[in-house]
Structure formats: C-alpha cells, structure tokens
A and B are shown apart, each in its own frame.
Chain A
Amino acid sequence: MSATALVPEELLQEEQKPEPIKKVSIIVSKGTLEGIYPGLIMANGARMEGIEANMFFTFFGMDAITKNKMDKVKVATVGNPALGLPALLGIIPGMSAFVTRQMAKKMEALDIPPIPEFVQLLADSGAKLYACKASVDMFGLKQEDFVDTLEGILTVGEFYEKAAGGQIIFT
C-alpha cells in the first residue's frame, strides 16, 4: 500500500487544486488590429475576474496608446493568409481600411469597444499601462504623445519588477 492511500481523497483533491492567477502582465508588440486586440481583451478579462493587470506596449504595439495613431489601427491585408483574401487583392489601396471597417462592425455588434475607448476602459478598470523605453527612444516619442492614462515609460528591467509575482503574456 502506498503512503498516499492513507490521505482521504477529498484532501488530496484540495491540495492539487491549482493556485488561481492573481496578476498578469501583458506585452503588446504588434501594431495591427489583430495584433492589439487580443492583449486588450485579455487584460480586460483579467480585471473582470478581479485579477491585477499590467500592460506593456512595445514597438508598433505602442500605436494602441499613441494619441494620433490609436484610432487609425488597421487589419493587415498583406502577409496575412488567415484572412482568406487573395494576396493580390490585399495590396489594393483602401483594402486594409475596408477590411478594418468590416471587422469594426462585427466587433461593435459584440460590444467590443474601438481601441481608444477600450484603452480608457482598461485604465478606468485599474489596469496599468506602460510604454517600453527602448521603443519610445527609437521612435523619438515623448510622454505627451501617449494617452494621459499612461502610468509611465519603463525599461525592460523595470517591467520585470512590475510583473513580479505574476504571469507574463507576450502578444
């Protein structure tokens, strides 16, 4: 007889129950519509479950929190085979804007907010928004180029400090 057989089954199950997630830090690295939304939705979903959420925007992902770019984010119609659009049609001027409009309609019907509203919703929900220092320097941006709800511009090291004790998700 093994030692574990002496432990009542209920207790055993209790012990094996995984620890709930308490904190997530989500990195948004892409500047397309389909690159940005998953991170926003996951951060919002975390807050709705009472999970602490940090967001770290890097490279073109920063477009989501840049004042003059956040309402111009588009679906990539080139190099995006999952769209099912013939490659040659993808390059037609206005195609990206057209596909983006179609997708925006579908999202509105599902009550998914446009990016500027979504970023405000996240800030109001208590999610913390950060921009990546290396990307900010590379693109020559300043704090005032970003939404007012930006908590700060962080180095990678500082981001890891903020993420301590939680899960990191890269998108």
Chain B
Amino acid sequence: MTTVTLANKDVDVDAEGFLKHPEQWDASVAETIAREAGIAPLTDRHWQVVKFMRDRFLTTGSAPSIRTLGKESGVPIKELYQLFPKGPAKLAAKIGGIPKPKGCI
C-alpha cells in the first residue's frame, strides 16, 4: 500500500491505484483518477455509473457485477463501454474510490 496525493489530498491506494479507504474519496479525487485513466471530463452519465457503483458498494459491501450495472444503473451495457472503454466496472470502481471488483462477471 502506498500513499499518494490526488487533488491535494493524501489517499492510500493499492498497487493498481484503487483507493484503500472509500472515506478518503471526494469528487475532486474522482476527477483526478478519471483524468489519469484517460477519461476527462466526467459527464453526468459517467457520474451516474460511478455513484451507482459507490453507493452499491457502501450499502452491500461488494461492487455490482457488469450485469447488475447494465440492468440497474440506468446506463445500458453498450453505453457503459462507450463511457469506460477500458472496462466499465473496474474503472467506475476506481473513479468511485472503492476497491477493485472481485467477481468474474
């Protein structure tokens, strides 16, 4: 684990840059992670996915699958991949300041 400074905030991240402590996250941290991942600026549609991921993780303790993301986030699968071409679940989790999703689906 390492501590890095994102948007003037010290945050603890794992080897792949996922936040270790979701409470260290805020919107400017999200914008910074997104920019580093090549997604800038974050649109309302990006935010809808990121917030859904984060809320679901904070309430259930695990990140939703891509299937659930497509069915329940309000953003369909095709658009998810347009918004996050390098992997919607993984990137939305990273930008949302939660750990990397563990499931295979």
Give residues in A with beta carbon < 8 Å to B. 41, 44-45, 47-50, 110-113, 117, 121, 124-126
Contacts and interface: CB of A to CB of B under 8 A. Distances in A.
Interface string B92-105: 00000000000111
B89 interface: yes
Contact of B105 (A50, A110, A124, A126): A110
Contacts of A121: 66-67, 70, 77
A113 B81 contact: no
A111 B103 contact: yes
Interface in B69-104: 70, 76-78, 81, 85-90, 103-104
Given A110-B105, A121-B66, A121-B70, 10 more contacts: A47-B87, A48-B87, A48-B90, A50-B86, A110-B103, A111-B68, A117-B67, A121-B77, A124-B70, A124-B76
Interface of B: 65-68, 70, 76-78, 81, 85-90, 103-105
A111 B67 contact: yes
A55 B103 CA distance: 22
Given A44-B105, A48-B90, A113 B67 contact: yes
Contacts of A112: 67, 105
A121 B65 CA distance: 12
B84 to A, nearest CB: 9
A112 B67 CA distance: 8
Contacts of B70: 121, 124
B87 A49 contact: yes
| Pairs A-B, 10 closest by C-beta atoms | A50-B86, A124-B77, A111-B65, A50-B87, A124-B78, A48-B87, A49-B87, A126-B81, A111-B67, A111-B105
A44 B86 contact: no
Nearest to A117: B67
A47 to B, nearest CB: 7
A41 B66 contact: no
Contact of B66 (A110, A125, A126): A125
Nearest to B85: A50
Nearest to B65: A111
Contacts of A41: 104-105
A110 B66 CA distance: 12
